[in-house]
């Protein structure tokens, strides 16, 4: 099993390093071809990508943070992520249709 962390944001990278999760691969972009059944992907991915990795048998943990309008579009520091109550939340997405 490989655990991927997908982010280009230094604050998110520093935050995840404090969460007690062993990250095997640090990537700024997820290539679905690299993901195998049993892998775990952590980050903030678009819903269709989460559905695709779930279909492959991988799990997804979303870096969940409620960003107020005043901070949108800004780089968030590790400290800001803590202040905003960032959490990791598992999601499973099933594509319909």
**What is residue 95's predicted lDDT score, i.e. its pLDDT?**
86
- With respect to residue 54, please indicate whether it lies within any of the assigned structural domains: yes
Task: Quote the tokens at residue 42.
Answer: 């952590």
Helix (H, G, I), strand (E, B) or coil at 81: helix
**Number of domains observed in the structure of the chain:** 1
Domain that holds residue 58: 3-91
- With respect to residue 66, please indicate whether it lies within any of the assigned structural domains: yes
pLDDT in tens, 50-73: 999 999 999 999 999 999 999 999
- With respect to residue 84, please indicate whether it lies within any of the assigned structural domains: yes
pTM for this predicted structure: 0.93
**What is residue 96's predicted lDDT score, i.e. its pLDDT?**
87
pLDDT in tens, 5-43: 999 999 999 999 999 999 999 999 999 999 999 999 999
- With respect to residue 97, please indicate whether it lies within any of the assigned structural domains: no
- With respect to residue 86, please indicate whether it lies within any of the assigned structural domains: yes
């Amino acid at each position: 099993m490989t655990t991927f962390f997908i982010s280009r944001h230094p604050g998110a990278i520093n935050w995840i390093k404090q969460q007690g999760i062993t990250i095997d691969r640090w990537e700024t972009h997820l290539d679905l071809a690299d993901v195998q059944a049993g892998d775990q992907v952590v980050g903030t991915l678009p819903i269709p990508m989460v559905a695709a990795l779930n279909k492959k048998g991988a799990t997804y943990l979303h870096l969940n943070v409620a960003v107020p309008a005043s901070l949108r579009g800004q780089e968030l520091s590790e400290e800001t992520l803590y202040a905003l109550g960032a959490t990791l939340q598992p999601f499973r997405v099933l594509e319909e249709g």
